Amino acid sequence: ISLIVLLATLAPPVTAKNKCPADQTSAAIIPDYMERQGLTDLNGKQILPARYASITYAGNGLFTVREKLTPLGSNNRSSYKDKTLVINRDGTRIAAAVPPGSTLTNIRYFGKKAENSHLASPHSLQDDAMIVFSKDQNLGICDKRGKVILPASYAWISLESESKMVLRDTKGKLFIFEVGNEKITPLLCNDNGQGVSMYFTEGLAVINNHGPKFITPTGETPIKIRFFQASNFVNGRSLVRFAMPDGHSSGGILIDRTGKIVSPLGLNIISYSGSYSVVCLGLNKWGVVDRDFNFTIKPEYWLILQQPATVYTSEESLKDAQTPPAWFYASKGERQTTEVLTREGKLICTLPRGTQFPFAPAIHYVDGAILCDIGWANKFSESYFVNLKGERIARPHSELSLSSSVSFHEIAPGRLLKTVKPEVCAQQ
């Protein structure tokens, strides 16, 4: 795919005339085998027609919309160049540009005011926002007017966290980029993961250098412990597992920023989110404890898994561990009915008899409904949805279309992604 600049200049001022009309993309050509996407409100009212290659929620009320257009002066339908627009939740185009010869990849930082939502102008791109762009298969950062902040000489750019981004250049070297003063400094460490998924919380990030280690932005490793596994700090604690002499790992343990163990001995911490921990005392003794390690759900279950709070973007997922779980799935036996419990252990509902335990809870909670599987992976398998009363319901938003080739999914608060499969694209 040839990367040809299409967004080198500022979009015109945001007015009602800039709102994407239904026929705006009539010249856009998308291969017949590709799905097409549009945007609607929760009632199915069209915001963008289903004529785009992809629509992604960037955050802060903004979306990136990608088209596939034929190259200028070419009749070759198999060759395409990218054009990516930024719109708000009402479909109005937002001013955003990238350097000549590059392509807008995503919005990495929404600006200082966006960190304090009561100060930010809703659903707009702040002057100090930062955009990641791609050029010649490398990544760089520019402002919303296309002015280069960092040249396209990086192979990877992390999510922004605590006003920092981790960068890896094309030679594999790591750097810290401060979004406030736009300062870049080398991160003097070796990381087997080459910085992938690396980000800072509470001043520390996890690297893998002959085992997980915690590192500061200046390259110091303040906790001198050999870990088998380690996770980022949340509310002053990190869930870790120690490397044992036999090469195996210990059970889950919570430590503080000095490396001191704060969880009781014998309590295997399975997951930690928003000061709630799923714990295991032994076979068929799963429960949930609060920050003080008092049981909010008694350790009398065969298995418990947390349902993470709903997030819509990768940036939001970084904060997911700071948010208490929405609820917990719990079962007293492999063939027992699954219960849905509050953080305090109160019964919300039970899933229909025969429903398999939702071993991947984040996947099983979709648009306000729980996806239930019966007879998974056999000829008698069945999938359906229930609400939080345990009542069987239709697939969320299925009433918005009579065609099985058209589906809707909530990708942002109050906004649905409309996906049209190839066989009906021609009718849209």
Asked if residue 326 lies in contact with residue 307, where contact means CB atoms within 8 angstroms, the answer is: yes
| Gap between the Cα atoms of 3 and 103, Å rounded | 6
pLDDT value of position 71: 52
Give per-residue pLDDT as tens, 219-231: 899 998 889 999 9
Give the separation between CA 226 and CA 109, rounded to whole angstroms.
34
Model pLDDT, residue 348:
97
Which pair of structure tokens corresponds to residue 131?
């955009």
For the stretch 69-105, pLDDT in tens is 545 555 544 444 568 999 999 999 999 999 999 999 9
- The alpha carbon of 334 is separated from its chain's Cα centroid by a whole number of angstroms, namely 31
47 touches 40 (CB < 8 A): yes
CA distance 326 to 313: 17
Work out the percent of the chain whose per-residue pLDDT is above 90: 64
Tokens at 52, concatenated: 């785009």
Q: What is the pLDDT of residue 135?
A: 93
Of 13-22, 154-163, 378-387, 410-419, the one with minimum mean pLDDT is 13-22
Q: What is the pLDDT of residues 189-220, one digit of tens each?
A: 877 777 788 899 999 999 988 889 999 999 89
Query: Considering the entire predicted model, what is its pTM?
Result: 0.83
Q: Strand 54-59 relative to strand 382-386: parallel, antiparallel, unpaired?
A: unpaired
Average the pLDDT over 61-70 and give the result: 83
**pLDDT value of position 376:** 64
* 58-67 average pLDDT score: 93
Inter-residue contact 149 to 157 (CB < 8 Å): no
Phi then psi dihedrals of residue 238, to 5 deg: -130, 140
Query: What percent of the chain shows pLDDT beyond 70?
Result: 85
pLDDT band, residue 282 (cuts 50/70/90): confident
Alpha carbon distance 237, 217 (integer Å): 19
Q: Give which of 392, 293, 428, 289 is closest to 345, Cα–Cα.
A: 289
